[in-house]
Amino acid sequence: MRRMETIRFEDFLKIELRVGRIISASVFEKARKPAYILHVDFGNEIGIKKSSAQITALYTPESLVGRLVVAVVNFPHKQVGPIMSECLVTGFHNEKGEVALCVPDQPVPLGTRLL
């Protein structure tokens, strides 16, 4: 069994996990590994953020538009090839190593924080 590192609850509270809606998704042509460029709307307070996501095995760009996702919105921006990724869309690897998105199972307002 893998030993997990413990963190303090105060450390967890520093992570801004928020709900957003994918408003556009396109193939990231210049990515080293297959990926999409996503634009995610987190509501009026946070706005629209861009992300690179390696989720091509289970999703098409068309199937992503309109989906709710959970993303970290307060990491430093990260240069990913020619784009600046502004948030980290979360997901889980399945038994094949493909990424399945972490999503709320009920509608919630854009920008809602996970606690």
Tens of pLDDT, residue by residue over 5-59, are: 999 999 999 999 999 999 999 999 999 999 999 999 999 999 999 999 999 999 9
What does pLDDT average to over the chain? 96
CATH number of the domain to which 32 belongs = 2.40.50.140
Q: 11, 46 in Cβ contact below 8 A?
A: no
Whole-number pLDDT of residue 57: 98
- 0.85 surpassed by pTM: yes
User: Does 12 reside within a domain?
Assistant: no
Our count of domains for the chain comes to: 1
CA distance linking residue 77 with residue 46, whole number of Å: 14
Does the structure show a pLDDT above 90 at 115?
A: no
Q: Where are the alpha helices (DSSP H) in 1-115?
A: 9-13, 61-64
Q: What is the mean pLDDT of residues 60-78?
A: 97
Give me the domain span that covers residue 32: 17-101
Q: In whole angstroms, how far apart are CA 30 and each of 16, 23, 45, 50, 97? A: 29, 21, 31, 15, 22
User: Does 7 reside within a domain?
Assistant: no
